[in-house]
């Protein structure tokens, strides 16, 4: 490789990184702004002389939101966090268990209307939540689950279950069936083969699916708004709404609450994103 | 191996959370079904002192009666839709303390407990006739008046003085306060234009022309309509929107928007924006409940000494302001007796005095005669006196006269807010507005 | 999401010749719990909504009479109805278009190997990962007509001389809402396309390079055709998700400034106007639109 080519490559790289950084700055600006506002005093937010950079770092808004003191005295932020975790984890977990079975079944067995059912499940995922909300509310009431986190756990399955089934089905389709056949020849039962051979192979797919449903569930708004009125049972996605009430909206507090509410999903995503893209892609390559 | 480990962890996690949860939910259902606890819906208010006042009342009440009060706090913007969702789902709160007259609105459900006995015990003479009238249909009192969030026209003393106004408070022959040159809605608009300095982001009038401002915008439109003598239905119960009075009021509202004294951003304001921007020093005049006073200090854009509360402006039909008192509505649940006990407790003079002791005369002001007569309210500032002086000019979501459940539904359903957003966003003229009002009202009231 | 493989393996009955019929019965048992749950939480509500849409059904009133198509007539003749369809079409088509284009561009960038790739990927995914309520709060504040940073910046740059009310003007409001929708949606498309890109065998690129093909030729001759099936699925999902999206518009404008889409209008009927019957009728209309769209899509797919 000549020096000129090396130079050319270097320039190419510099140009690439330049554009990359530019794009990222542009697209993540709202998030930067959210963080900036959460660290500043309200006076510095409600002014026309606002500066673009971070001029002060003041964590008091975070403290008040987290501890429920000061302007956030009617907030139970930690309870909202816990509630969101419970609802999202339990419903994603429940969905993935059912979906692994169903996805495996749709991918591996042959029976009538197999593809029709798979397609139907995909369409269910495309349903507008609007049409489900009012009837689900009556259902939840009938079951005596109004104002209970169980209502949300069940209802979140309306989107997490069909998605998980679809995802797991496609994942199983990419796994070579020879492995489990070999295991069954060796005397394993079908269930044994699934448990010993298929599940470990499907793990990246499972993790990817859970990550995805976790993100979806964490930011759902319609259902918690309709099914929960009890302050201590609220979820984080609607919890900080009550800050935007009263006479002075503490914008730094609202932004701090927004940052805090985003934290868990970002962390989950940060650790599991490799699976999310990898899980999808490896499936494609292997088939 | 890894797989099994993860599955085990997952299973253990699931089971344990489920158990924690089942425990939690069974516990809560036990407390809510027992009549020894009542669920009370209230507007969430971030003001610490108000929170404290209500908490203390609940604690004292529990100490006295053993009944636990569980407050359910909901932000203003969600309050109505949540309430309707909940009630349509058959879940009734035991009690609501709110200022949008839910007892009248839901009277048709047959689940609102009449409060006649409570009022009788407290003494009907303790409340103005108009106040009780707002909550009475065919002699059944559906809500007990609790306190009022006094509304007033908050203005910048310094800006108005700079524009040449003499702000001396004067008293007319009826004992009503007035300030010369700022008596009518027309005066208010003129003053608003004079003090506007759009280039520097200073606007004379802070009125939310928005459908995001639940309550505030509607209240403003309502006040203008009432002051101009407009009605929705006449004595015979027929639609009576297309009148010269309504047209005059709508014409006024359109001129306000076109005057440039209202910031363009007002079309996206929410319920707090007007107060917020007033406090921040961007706005010259706002209609608001008396919560601004307590928020001003040396660090805010508007300093405490800059605030003057003006007597209510008048239209051809007098000066009316939409401000429904906060009322206590009790639903016919298992806990109806306990709820009524608490209602009576809340209406006791010493309870209310204690509450004012804690939260001061800022957000709430008293309705009960014995409370108003207390020496605590003798020593008021001019602004506070102006607020108390306009107490008998409040109208609820029904126009002066008989309350009508359907009218309060109109109020809740963004009927009045949408008049403003149609003016500002869609550029409707008076005829189009009348069409909109007639169509929507006839559908909501007669369909 | 995981479209790559599904589309490749679709309908291939000869794949499992060794499995017995008895075995297949186990498969049905595996499927039963999922179907049962979906019947309860999806099918039942849909039927319920349809029933509700033919009745007078309001939360403040106990009387529930059968009214035939009255609710549908009322919904279709509503002044906001035609606009909501136009808005939904604009929102879904333009939104989906930009989401896929941006997603495609970024996926191509992310498909290179470079230092800091996973960090870049996370940063680019953030708009989708952050809860809607949180990011909409930030956007609302940025668009604010009194102190929003966009106004401040445009003013400093001398583009405007008085503050613009972004979310309060017809037209402009829809553009803003659309922008935020695209911002939230492109990462999903980026991921799906990236997964598709990574499944294209590298040998194909190498072979093309040996033959001296340029970047553009490679993109149009190899990348795009290989992505065809992924892209068609991506675009479909993107359109439908955008079609269904409700949060962004409701949280930003409440359907004001002429930004109502069919979904926000349905919500407004049900929960603001307190007319569950009208809301249900509107939902059924939405469902019909969706069904027609999917039907056309499926026929197109079969033709290909």
The model's confidence at residue B401, banded by pLDDT at 50, 70 and 90, is low
pLDDT in tens, B193-224: 999 998 888 999 988 888 777 667 888 898 99
Smallest CA–CA separation between C291 and chain A, in Å? 9
Instruction: State which residue of chain C sits closest to A151, comparing Cα positions.
Output: C41
Alpha helices, DSSP H only, in chain A?
3-27, 29-38, 42-45, 60-67, 77-108, 114-125, 129-142, 149-174, 178-185, 190-193, 199-218, 222-227, 236-239, 251-286
Say if CB B311 and CB B231 are below 8 A apart: no
Residues with Cβ < 8 Å from A73, sequence gap 6 or more?
Answer: B46, B48, B51
The model's confidence at residue C163, banded by pLDDT at 50, 70 and 90, is confident
Confirm or reject contact between C134 and chain A (CB < 8 A): yes
Least confident range of B335-344, C23-32, C258-267? C23-32
CATH number of A71-286: 1.10.3720.10
A200 CB neighbours in chain B (<8 A) are 2-3
Residue C241 lies in a domain: yes
Contact call for A136 and C118, based on CB within 8 A: no
pLDDT in tens, A36-91: 999 988 777 777 778 888 888 889 889 988 988 877 777 889 999 999 999 999 99
Q: Are B81 and B145 contained in the same domain?
A: yes
Give the whole-number percent of chain B exceeding pLDDT 90. Answer: 33
Among A245, A249, A254, A271, most B C-beta atoms within 10 A, so best to mutate, is A245
Instruction: In whole angstroms, give the CA distance from residue A87 to residue A233.
Output: 10
In whole angstroms, how far apart are CA B203 and each of A47, B260, C146?
15, 8, 11
Instruction: Parse chain A into domains and list their residue ranges.
Output: 71-286
Of B401, B374, B399, the residue nearest B388 (C-alpha): B374
Phi then psi for residue B122, to 5 deg, are -75, -35
The label of the residue with tokens 């505030």 reads: B216
User: Residue B3: pLDDT above 70?
Assistant: no
> Average of pLDDT values for B20-45?
58
Confirm or reject contact between C77 and chain B (CB < 8 A): no
Please give the structure tokens belonging to residue C50.
Answer: 């349809």
Please give the structure tokens belonging to residue C138.
Answer: 């930030």
Instruction: In whole angstroms, give the CA distance from residue C141 to residue A120.
Output: 41
Give CA angle at C232 (C231, C238), nearest 5°: 85
The sign of the dihedral angle between the CA atoms of C3, C4, C6, C11 is: positive
Instruction: In whole angstroms, give the CA distance from residue A187 to residue A192.
Output: 9
User: Residue B2: pLDDT above 70?
Assistant: no
Query: Phi-psi category of B175—alpha, beta or left, where left has phi over 0 and alpha has psi -120 to 50?
Result: left
Instruction: In whole angstroms, give the CA distance from residue B175 to residue B389.
Output: 9
State the pLDDT at residue A285: 31
Give the E-state strand segments of chain C in sequence order.
none
Of B78, B76, B113, the residue nearest B92 (C-alpha): B113
Report chain C's mean pLDDT, rounded to a whole number: 84
Instruction: In whole angstroms, give the CA distance from residue B301 to residue C203.
Output: 67
3-state DSSP call for residue B77?
Answer: helix
Confirm or reject contact between B416 and chain C (CB < 8 A): no
Cβ burial B167-197 (10 Å sphere, 16+ → b, else e)? eebeeeeeebbbbeebbebebbbbbbebbbe
Query: What is the largest distance, in Å, between two alpha-carbon atoms of chain B?
Result: 91
In whole angstroms, how far apart are CA A42 and each of B141, B291, C136?
45, 19, 19
Q: Are B49 and B101 contained in the same domain?
A: yes
DSSP classification of residue A241: G
Report chain B's mean pLDDT, rounded to a whole number: 83
Confirm or reject contact between B199 and chain C (CB < 8 A): yes
State the pLDDT at residue B8: 53
pLDDT in tens, C39-84: 999 999 999 999 999 998 887 666 788 999 999 999 999 888 999 9
Contact call for C60 and B106, based on CB within 8 A: yes
Give the E-state strand segments of B3-149 in sequence order.
37-43, 68-74, 95-98, 136-137, 140-141, 144-148
Instruction: In whole angstroms, give the CA distance from residue B388 to residue B394.
Output: 11
- Inter-axis angle of helices B2-33 and A199-218, to 10 degrees? 40
User: Residue B187: pLDDT above 90?
Assistant: yes
The sign of the dihedral angle between the CA atoms of A267, A269, A273, A275 is: positive
Least confident range of A117-121, B27-31, B293-297, B419-423? B27-31
Instruction: In whole angstroms, give the CA distance from residue A63 to residue A38.
Output: 11
> Average of pLDDT values for A202-218?
87
Residue C27 lies in a domain: no
User: Residue B35: pLDDT above 70?
Assistant: no
Q: Are B196 and B286 contained in the same domain?
A: yes
Please give the structure tokens belonging to residue B257.
Answer: 């928007």
In whole angstroms, how far apart are CA B317 and each of A112, B224, B229, B314, C105?
76, 10, 5, 7, 64
CATH of the domain at B259: 3.40.190.10
Residues with Cβ < 8 Å from A150, sequence gap 6 or more?
Answer: B21, B25
Q: Are B161 and B145 contained in the same domain?
A: no
Residue C24 lies in a domain: no
Give the whole-number percent of chain B exceeding pLDDT 70. Answer: 87
The label of the residue with tokens 């009960």 reads: B368
User: Residue B417: pLDDT above 70?
Assistant: yes
Q: How many CB atoms lie within 10 A of CB C100?
A: 23
Beta strands B394-395 and B321-322 are parallel
Residue B110 lies in a domain: yes
CATH of the domain at C204: 1.10.3720.10
Q: How many CB atoms lie within 10 A of CB C35?
A: 17
Say if CB B302 and CB B280 are below 8 A apart: yes
Say if CB C251 and CB C136 are below 8 A apart: yes
Give CA angle at B275 (B372, B323), nearest 5°: 40
For residue B379, the enclosing domain spans 35-149+324-394
Among B1, B23, B87, B89, most A C-beta atoms within 10 A, so best to mutate, is B89
DSSP codes joined into one string, C11-71: S-GGG-TT--HHHHHHHHHHHHHHHHHHIIIIIHHHHHHHHHHTB---TT-----B-TTHH
Instruction: In whole angstroms, give the CA distance from residue C141 to residue C167.
Output: 11
Residue B25 lies in a domain: no
Residue B11 lies in a domain: no
The model's confidence at residue A2, banded by pLDDT at 50, 70 and 90, is low
Of B217, B162, B130, the residue nearest B403 (C-alpha): B130
Q: Are B203 and B336 contained in the same domain?
A: no
State the pLDDT at residue A282: 44
Contact call for B201 and C163, based on CB within 8 A: yes
Highest mean pLDDT, choosing among A111-120, A173-182, A246-255, C94-103: C94-103
Confirm or reject contact between C209 and chain B (CB < 8 A): no
The model's confidence at residue C101, banded by pLDDT at 50, 70 and 90, is very high
Pick from C1, C35, C49: CB nearest A167: C1
For residue C216, the enclosing domain spans 3-18+80-303
User: Residue C113: pLDDT above 70?
Assistant: yes
Residue B7 lies in a domain: no
In whole angstroms, how far apart are CA A60 and each of A57, A67, A262, B279?
9, 10, 18, 22
User: Residue B32: pLDDT above 70?
Assistant: no
Instruction: In whole angstroms, give the CA distance from residue B15 to residue B21.
Output: 10
Selected residues 204-263 of chain C with any CB under 8 Å from a CB in chain A: 237, 240-241, 243-244, 246-247, 251, 263
Pick from B10, B45, B91: CB nearest A246: B45
CA atoms within 13 A on the CB side of B370: 13
pLDDT in tens, C126-141: 998 888 888 998 998 8
A111 CB neighbours in chain C (<8 A) are 24, 27-28
pLDDT in tens, B312-350: 899 998 888 887 788 999 999 889 999 999 999 999 999
B41 CB neighbours in chain A (<8 A) are 229
Contact call for B74 and A93, based on CB within 8 A: no
The model's confidence at residue C20, banded by pLDDT at 50, 70 and 90, is low
Instruction: In whole angstroms, give the CA distance from residue C235 to residue B154.
Output: 53
The label of the residue with tokens 């829809």 reads: C174
Say if CB B112 and CB B142 are below 8 A apart: yes
Q: Are B159 and B139 contained in the same domain?
A: no
Among B201, B263, B268, B414, most C C-beta atoms within 10 A, so best to mutate, is B268
Beta strands B307-310 and B283-289 are unpaired
Say if CB B179 and CB B228 are below 8 A apart: no
| CA-atom Rg of chain C in angstroms | 24
Cβ burial B371-408 (10 Å sphere, 16+ → b, else e)? beeeeebeeeeebbebbbbbbebbbbbbbbeebbbbbb
Alpha helices, DSSP H only, in B259-310?
273-279
State the pLDDT at residue A49: 79
3-state DSSP call for residue B57?
Answer: helix
Among A10, A13, A28, A134, most C C-beta atoms within 10 A, so best to mutate, is A134
A108 CB neighbours in chain C (<8 A) are 16, 19, 27
> Average of pLDDT values for C105-116?
89
Least confident range of A94-98, B4-8, B138-142? B4-8
State the pLDDT at residue A247: 64
Contact call for A137 and B2, based on CB within 8 A: no
Q: Are B161 and B246 contained in the same domain?
A: yes
> Average of pLDDT values for C255-278?
86
- Inter-axis angle of helices A251-286 and A77-108, to 10 degrees? 20
Q: Are B316 and B382 contained in the same domain?
A: no
Instruction: In whole angstroms, give the CA distance from residue C98 to residue B28.
Output: 48
pLDDT in tens, A234-277: 899 888 777 776 666 788 888 999 999 989 888 888 888 777 76
Counting the structural domains of chain C, the total is: 1
The label of the residue with tokens 């609501």 reads: B96
3-state DSSP call for residue B72?
Answer: strand
- List residues of chain A with CB under 8 Å from any CB of chain B: 43, 46, 48, 70-74, 86, 89-90, 93-94, 137-138, 140-141, 144, 146-150, 199-200, 203, 225-226, 229-231, 241-250
Instruction: In whole angstroms, give the CA distance from residue A58 to residue A255.
Output: 13
Pick from B17, B47, B299: CB nearest A90: B17
Contact call for B25 and A244, based on CB within 8 A: no
Long-range contacts of B182-187 (CB under 8 A, 24+ apart): B182/B310, B182/B311, B182/B313, B183/B311, B183/B313, B183/B314, B184/B313, B184/B314, B184/B315, B185/B224, B185/B227, B185/B228, B185/B252, B185/B313, B185/B314, B185/B315, B186/B252, B187/B313
pLDDT in tens, B360-373: 776 788 888 888 88
Give the whole-number percent of chain C exceeding pLDDT 70. Answer: 91
């Amino acid at each position: 490789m000549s020096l000129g080519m090396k130079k050319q490559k270097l320039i190419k790289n510099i140009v690439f990184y330049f554009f990359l950084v530019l794009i990222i700055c542009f697209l993540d600006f709202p998030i930067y702004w959210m963080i900036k506002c959460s660290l500043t005093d309200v006076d510095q937010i409600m002014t026309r002389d606002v500066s673009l950079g971070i001029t002060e770092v003041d964590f008091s808004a975070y403290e008040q939101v987290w501890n429920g003191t000061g302007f956030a005295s009617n907030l139970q932020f930690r309870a909202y966090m816990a509630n969101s975790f419970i609802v999202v984890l339990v419903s994603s977990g429940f969905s993935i268990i059912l979906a692994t079975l169903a996805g495996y079944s749709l991918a591996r067995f042959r029976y009538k209307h197999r593809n029709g059912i798979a397609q139907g499940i995909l369409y269910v995922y495309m349903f507008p939540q609007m049409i489900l909300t009012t009837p689900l509310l009556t259902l939840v009431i009938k079951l005596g689950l109004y104002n209970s986190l169980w209502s949300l756990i069940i209802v979140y399955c309306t989107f997490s279950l069909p998605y998980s089934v679809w995802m797991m089905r496609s994942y199983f389709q990419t796994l070579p069936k020879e492995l489990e056949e070999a295991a069954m020849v060796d005397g394993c039962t079908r269930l044994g083969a699934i448990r010993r051979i298929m599940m470990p192979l499907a793990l990246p797919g499972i993790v990817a699916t859970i990550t995805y449903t976790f993100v979806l569930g964490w930011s759902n708004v319609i259902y918690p708004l309709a099914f929960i009125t009890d302050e201590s049972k609220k979820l984080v996605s609607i919890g900080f709404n009550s800050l935007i009430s009263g006479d002075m909206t503490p914008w730094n507090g609202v932004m701090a609450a927004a940052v805090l509410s985003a934290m868990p999903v970002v962390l989950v995503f940060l650790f599991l994103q490799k699976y999310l893209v990898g899980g999808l892609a490896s499936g494609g390559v292997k088939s | 191996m890894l797989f099994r480990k993860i599955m085990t962890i997952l299973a253990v996690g699931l089971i344990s959370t489920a158990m924690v949860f089942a425990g939690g939910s069974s516990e809560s259902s036990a407390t809510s079904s027992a009549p020894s606890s009542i669920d009370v819906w209230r507007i969430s208010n971030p003001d610490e002192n108000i929170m404290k006042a209500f908490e203390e009342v609940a604690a004292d009440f529990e100490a006295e009666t053993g009944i636990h009060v569980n407050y359910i706090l909901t932000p203003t913007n969600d309050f109505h839709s949540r309430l309707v969702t909940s009630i349509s789902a058959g879940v009734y709160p035991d009690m609501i303390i709110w200022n949008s007259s839910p007892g009248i609105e839901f009277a048709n459900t047959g689940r609102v407990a009449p409060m006649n006995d409570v009022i009788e015990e407290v003494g009907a003479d303790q409340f103005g006739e108009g106040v009780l009238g707002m909550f009475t249909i065919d002699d059944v009192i559906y809500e007990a008046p609790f306190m009022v969030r006094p509304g007033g026209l908050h203005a910048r003393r310094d800006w108005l003085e700079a524009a040449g106004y003499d702000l001396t408070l004067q008293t007319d022959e009826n004992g009503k306060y007035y300030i010369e040159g700022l008596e009518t809605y027309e005066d208010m608009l003129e003053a608003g234009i004079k003090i506007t300095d759009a280039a520097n982001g200073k606007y004379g009038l802070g009125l939310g022309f928005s459908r995001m401002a639940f309550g505030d915008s509607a209240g403003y439109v309502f006040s203008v309509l009432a002051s101009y003598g407009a009605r929705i239905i006449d004595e015979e119960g027929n639609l009576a929107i297309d009148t010269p009075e309504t047209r005059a009021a709508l014409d006024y509202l359109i001129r306000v928007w076109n005057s440039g004294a209202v910031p363009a951003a007002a079309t996206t304001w929410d319920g707090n924006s007007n107060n917020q921007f007033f406090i921040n020093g961007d706005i010259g005049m706002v209609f608001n409940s008396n919560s601004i006073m307590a928020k001003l200090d040396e660090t805010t854009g508007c300093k405490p000494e800059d605030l003057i509360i003006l007597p209510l402006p008048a239209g051809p039909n007098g000066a009316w302001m939409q401000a429904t008192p906060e009322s206590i509505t009790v639903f016919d649940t298992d806990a109806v007796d306990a709820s009524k006990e608490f209602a009576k407790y809340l209406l006791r003079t010493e309870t209310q005095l204690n509450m004012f002791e804690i939260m001061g005369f800022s957000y709430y002001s008293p309705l009960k005669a014995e409370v108003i007569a207390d020496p605590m309210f003798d020593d008021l500032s001019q602004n506070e006196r102006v607020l108390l002086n306009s107490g008998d000019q409040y109208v609820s979501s029904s126009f002066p006269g008989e309350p009508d459940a359907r009218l309060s539904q109109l109020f809740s359903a963004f009927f009045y807010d949408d008049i403003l957003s149609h003016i500002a966003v869609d550029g409707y003229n008076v005829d189009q507005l009348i069409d909109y009002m007639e169509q929507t009202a006839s559908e909501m009231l007669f369909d | 999401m995981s479209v790559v493989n599904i589309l490749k393996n679709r309908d291939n009955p000869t794949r499992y010749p060794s499995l017995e019929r008895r075995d297949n019965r186990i498969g049905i048992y595996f499927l039963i719990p999922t179907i049962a749950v979906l019947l309860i939480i999806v099918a039942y509500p849909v039927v319920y909504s349809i029933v509700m849409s033919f009745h007078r059904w309001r939360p403040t009133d106990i009387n529930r009479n059968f009214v035939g198509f009255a609710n549908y007539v009322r919904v279709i003749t509503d002044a906001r109805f035609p606009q909501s369809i136009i808005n939904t079409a604009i929102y879904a088509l333009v939104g989906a278009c930009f989401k896929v284009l941006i997603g495609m561009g970024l996926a191509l960038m992310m498909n290179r190997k470079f230092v800091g790739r996973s960090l870049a990927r996370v940063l680019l995914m953030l708009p989708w990962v952050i809860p809607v309520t949180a990011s909409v709060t930030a956007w609302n504040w940025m668009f604010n007509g009194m102190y929003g940073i966009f106004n401040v910046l445009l003013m400093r740059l001398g583009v405007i001389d008085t503050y613009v009310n972004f979310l309060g003007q017809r037209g402009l409001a829809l553009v803003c809402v659309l922008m935020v929708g695209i911002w939230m949606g492109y990462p999903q498309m980026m991921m799906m396309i990236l997964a598709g890109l990574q499944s294209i065998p590298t040998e194909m690129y190498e072979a093309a390079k040996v033959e001296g093909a340029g970047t553009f030729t490679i993109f149009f001759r190899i990348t795009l055709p290989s992505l065809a099936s992924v892209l068609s699925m991506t675009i479909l999902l993107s359109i439908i998700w955008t079609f269904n999206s409700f949060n962004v518009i409701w949280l930003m404008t409440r359907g004001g400034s002429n930004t109502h889409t069919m979904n926000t209008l349905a919500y407004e009927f049900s929960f603001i106007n307190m007319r569950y019957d009208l809301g249900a009728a509107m939902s059924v209309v939405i469902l019909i639109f969706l069904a027609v769209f999917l039907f056309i899509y499926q026929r197109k797919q079969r033709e290909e």
